[in-house]
Amino acid sequence: MKSVIVRPFTENDLANAAAALVDVHATDGYPVEGVDQPEAWLRSADVIAAWVGELDGAVVGHVAIMRPHGEDAVSLWMQQSGDREDQIAILARLFVVKPARKHAVGERLMQAAMSHAEEHGLRLVLDVMTKDIAAMRLYERLGWREIWRAPHHYGNGQSIDAVCYVAPHR
């Protein structure tokens, strides 16, 4: 049986997490913006907290909670709920390398982020590209609720269809 560990992200994880991200981009096209600077993407100043998933000692996944900056999911949730922006955070940077899937790494990463948000009084929202069916199934299985569909804009005028979700209130 393979051993899965989810733990807080540390600076020592950066190179391995960046390599995993490049691998995920090659297999799944995530993130759609590309991974020209994977280490910078993972160490964004907007990260509130982050975790890695390890499988048999190797970093195979990552998730972060990030400060909002006018994302559609945040605006939509504020309109629907009356919550203030400082009560909301973005679940982002979730990825698991293909060989590690089916070991519940993504689910365990999500649970770590959701627990952290709950402990800190934050409501999590996210957007996911409609092409990422497995991710949408995971969110829905964990009780996340679709709140809107909106295009995700990136790059030089590019866009892709996305679904906005809000975490369950526990």
User: How far, in Å, CA of 101 to CA of 95, rounded?
Assistant: 10
Q: Could you tell me if 139 and 97 are in contact, meaning their C-beta atoms sit under 8 angstroms apart?
A: no
The predicted model scores a pTM of: 0.94
pLDDT tens by residue, the chain, 170 residues: 578 999 999 999 999 999 999 999 999 999 999 999 999 999 999 999 999 999 999 999 999 999 999 888 999 999 999 999 999 999 999 999 999 999 999 999 999 999 999 999 999 999 999 999 999 999 999 999 999 998 888 888 999 999 999 999 86
CA distance 31 to 126: 14
Cα torsion angle, 159, 167, 3, 103, sign: negative
CB 100, CB 114: distance < 8 Å: no
The span from the first CA to the last CA of the chain, in angstroms, equals 31
Q: Six-digit token pair at 125? A: 């929202």
Q: What is the pLDDT of residue 170?
A: 66
**Location of structure tokens 């907290």:** 49
What CA–CA distance (Å, rounded) separates 132 from 135?
A: 6
pLDDT of residue 80: 94
Element (H, E) at 25: helix 14-28
With vertex at residue 5, the alpha carbon angle to CA 13 and CA 89, rounded to the nearest 5 degrees, is 70
